[in-house]
Amino acid sequence: MFHTSIVPQVRKRPRPAEAGVPGNGEVKFKDVRLYLVERKMGRSRRNFLTQLARSKGFIVEDVLSDNVTHVVSENSHAWSLWEWLKDVAPGNLAHMNVLDISWFTDSMRERRPVAVETRHLIEDSLAEEDSGGEPAALTAVSQYACKRRTTIDNYNKIFTDAFEVLAERCEFNQMEGRCLGFRRAASMLKSLTWPVRCLEATLSLPCLGDHAKAVMDEILQYGRSFEVERLQSDERYQMLKLFTSVFGVGPKTAEKWYRLGLRSFGDVMADHTIQLNRMQQNGFLHHGDISRAVSRAEAQALTDLIDGAVHTIAPRAAVALTGGFRRGKEFGHDVDFIVTTPELGKEENLLPSIISRLSHQGILLYSDYHASTFDMSKLPSVKFEAMDHFAKCFLILRLEGSRVEGGLQIDEGDSRGWRAVRVDLVSPPIDRYAFALLGWSGSRQFERDLRRFARAERRMLLDNHALYDKTKKEFLAATTEKDIFAHLGLEYIEPWQRNA
Ligand code: DCT
Ligand code: MG
């Protein structure tokens, strides 16, 4: 409706003073700098959208400079847009999010820059599958992780390890969309029951963009990816990886420390301008232990411990091991449990009681408890939220070696006889149990694709709390995970087949 004027093809250079000036609004999001591509969009619509964004506190650049973080285009064919971008854009195109107008409209609606999702991306590839329906007829492998069966046997580790490094780099550079692209590619390869041995074999596979294919080509030819190797020897990457390995330190904090010139844990400790929060203090205190993988035998010992603690307090309460260990993984970074009571509402005091019981036993090293903020009347939520609203706690527990069959995962020469382990407990009300169990069983990629599938293919909204049918305008009840798969019209996938 805004395409009312014919756009002259003369490109006028804007006056420098205009660039980046927010105009009629106060700047609210300093880290995000938009550039709206005029071609196909048209000048009048571009002006309109520019004013709109600035009035909401966004910075909109008039010129495509190195400062731009988000390039937004409308109605462009991906290949012609990219051809044009490569022609006119400066060298750091690789660090920009190249996005469809849907990201812009989502952000305007939310009045903040929303997280970039795969569906927002305009990929640099003719071959890239689009985010619409499934290209199922062409391929046997679905683009959705929730339609694939992925065990812990990975025949393509050589590629998926490389993609993991590239995804991590994107994460450090706040390029969520590209990060997701690599994660989706890795996830798809993990589902194959055969190793990819030649590039031709990828022709019928979904989720592989040009970049991913180029990396695979290199690995197939030389046995390694030079891009990945370069990255792994890059100082910034190494430092961000080191800092984010500390419990409580995310990419933003790690970047801040790196920019301060800090290059080791010793540097962080010695810098008196840095105030560590309680989580980070404990992260450093127990770093050696909690950065070491937790074994299945250790997870079993913790299951017995939590079971014992829960049944002392609430004999009828149920404890379920979830997360990676429920999917049959041999090692994990933590141990995740769901605890609930058969009577609705009785779960409310469960976690505080468990925490005091563990403390009484002398095995509680750290506890961060979050009371429930769950409110059924606020559902369905269309917003993507990283966390659900159930009561939960993030713990560090002391695990004695004597409790673990075959002994502890510890360093050689460590004679303490115990180790610290990260444990997460979540306690949903019993009528939300199936949704919480499905959500907490993971993998993250499996969960993402369940939600994406529900939204795109079924017009339904799924999260850790509920499933909502937008067509029928009603919530769909479920007491088991199988009920949820059935509502979604999906074949049931066992937990051990969800290692996407
Ligand atoms: N989860 C979630 N919301 C979050 C974080 C996690 O719904 N904000 C889900 C997805 C996976 C599951 O909880 C457990 O999370 P992790 O412990 O991080 O993953 P994992 O698969 O158990 O991996 P690991 O074996 O390394 O612990
Ligand atoms: Mg886990």
For the sheet containing 391-400, what is the strand order?
A: 318-322, 335-340, 418-427, 391-400, 364-370
The CA-based angle 287-290-296, given to 5 degrees, is 160
Kindly give the confidence (pLDDT) of every residue in the chain, 500 residues in length, as a single tens digit, with 9 standing for 90 and above. 444 333 434 444 444 444 445 456 789 999 899 999 998 898 889 999 999 999 999 999 998 888 899 999 998 888 788 878 887 776 777 778 999 999 999 999 999 999 888 888 888 754 344 434 333 333 489 999 999 999 999 999 999 999 999 999 999 999 999 999 999 999 999 999 999 999 999 988 999 999 999 999 999 999 999 999 999 999 999 999 999 999 999 999 999 999 999 999 999 999 999 999 999 999 999 999 999 999 999 999 999 999 999 999 999 999 999 999 999 999 999 999 999 999 999 999 999 999 999 999 999 999 999 999 999 888 888 776 668 999 999 999 999 999 999 999 888 888 899 999 999 999 999 999 999 999 999 999 999 999 999 999 999 999 999 999 999 999 999 999 999 999 999 999 999 999 99
Catalytic-role residue among 334, 388, 449, 463: 334
Distance CA(426)–CA(428), nearest Å, equals 6
- Judge if the beta carbon of residue 324 lies within 6 A of ligand 1: yes
Separation of CA 133 and ligand 1 centre (Å): 28
336 is catalytic: yes
Distance 200 CA to ligand 1 centre (A): 34
If you measure from the C-alpha of residue 433 to the centroid of ligand 2, how many angstroms do you get, rounded to a whole number? 18
Helix (H, G, I), strand (E, B) or coil at 318: strand
Is the shortest distance between the CB of 283 and ligand 1 below 6 Å? no
Residue 463 Cβ < 6 Å to ligand 1: no
62 is catalytic: no
Ligand 1 pocket residue status of 42, Cβ below 6 Å: no
Is 31 a residue of the active site? no
Q: What is the DSSP string of 410-435?
A: --TT--SSEEEEEEEEEE--GGGHHH
If you take atom 3 of ligand 1, which residue's CA is the nearest one? Answer: 387
Q: Which of the residues 336, 388, 449, 463 is marked catalytic?
A: 336
Query: Cα separations (Å) of 122 from 81, 272, 312, 335, 372?
Result: 9, 44, 55, 37, 38
End-to-end CA distance of the chain: 42
**Which residue has its alpha carbon closest to ligand 1 atom 23?**
324
Those residues whose C-beta lies under 8 Å from the C-beta of residue 72, and which sit 6 or more positions away, are 34, 35, 36, 37, 99, 100, 101, 103, 104
The residue whose C-alpha atom lies closest to atom 15 belonging to ligand 1 is 323
Q: Residue 332: CB within 6 Å of ligand 1?
A: yes
Which domains does the chain show, CATH number per domain?
33-122 (3.40.50.10190), 145-230 (1.10.150.110), 234-285 (1.10.150.20), 294-431 (3.30.460.10), 441-497 (3.30.210.10)
Would the CB of 323 count as within 6 Å of ligand 1?
Answer: yes
Q: Whose CA is nearest to atom 10 of ligand 1?
A: 442
428 lines ligand 1 (CB under 6 A): no
Largest CA distance in the chain: 78
Tell me, yes or no, if the pTM score tops 0.85: no
d(CA 257, CA 269): 11
Distance 98 CA to ligand 2 centre (A): 33
